Structure 1
């Protein structure tokens, strides 16, 4: 089953396809970034060099839209550590882990219980931590 893009008719949605053909939908909000996937997707994405470069560049652009001096930064507090977040809509936690292995970026989401499409609603400080995790090897 595919994600219903009709729910995002007034919002920007960019799709990134990983090495296995899975699609990660990225949709910016005013001060956060929403990551979504098809309802049956596990949440693990393996991006090759070309697609990971596109993803990193796009996420950097989103960060700079909100905060002009945005830069990747290690998350050293609950508000900036990307690994866990509380989703008010689902009254549950979601999780994210990201690494880089040579030219491959691996992002693993564990969506909040009850969510079908939303993998993670990421604040800008958490986005900085995500980018730090996948860019630190460069």
Structure 2
């Protein structure tokens, strides 16, 4: 599994991992006080780097990728199941 770390403006680390057919976002557990609601704020330059990296690894992970805006609870990847908490989680990148 390949890993790249992105550091946001307040020093928090967003860990992005990928392998065939999977892109995984993780938080640095040592930096997070509340695992239920985490926000990463990036400077524009770093956000563009993160965005381009996500596009690149997504195309490696899946063939014929057709990205769509995840703007509702029914959209893929707006909502996901979290095994650790046995509950649904939500991801929003904007």
TM-score range, shorter chain: 0.7 to 0.9
Q: Which has the higher contact order (CA 8 A, sep 6+)?
A: 1
User: Are the counterparts in 1 of residues 19 and 61 from structure 2 also a CA contact under 8 Å?
Assistant: no
Q: Which structure 1 residue ranges, 4+ long, deviate > 6 Å from structure 2?
A: none
Match of 1:94 in 2: 89
The number of equivalent residue pairs is 88
In structure 1, the gaps of 5 or more residues are 1-10, 100-138
Q: Which has the higher strand share?
A: 1
- SS of residue in 1 equivalent to 2:41: strand
User: Are the counterparts in 2 of residues 60 and 71 from structure 1 also a CA contact under 8 Å?
Assistant: no
| Residues 87-96 or 56-65, more deviating | 87-96
Query: CA-atom RMSD, angstroms?
Result: 2.2
Match of 1:22 in 2: 12
Shift of 1:90: 4.2
Match of 1:13 in 2: 3
Under a length normalisation based on structure 1, what TM-score does the superposition of the two structures give? Answer: 0.54
Q: 1:24 to 1:90 in 2, by over 3 A?
A: same
Shift of 1:31: 1.5
Under a length normalisation based on structure 2, what TM-score does the superposition of the two structures give? Answer: 0.75
Shift of 1:32: 2.0
User: Are the counterparts in 1 of residues 20 and 60 from structure 2 also a CA contact under 8 Å?
Assistant: no
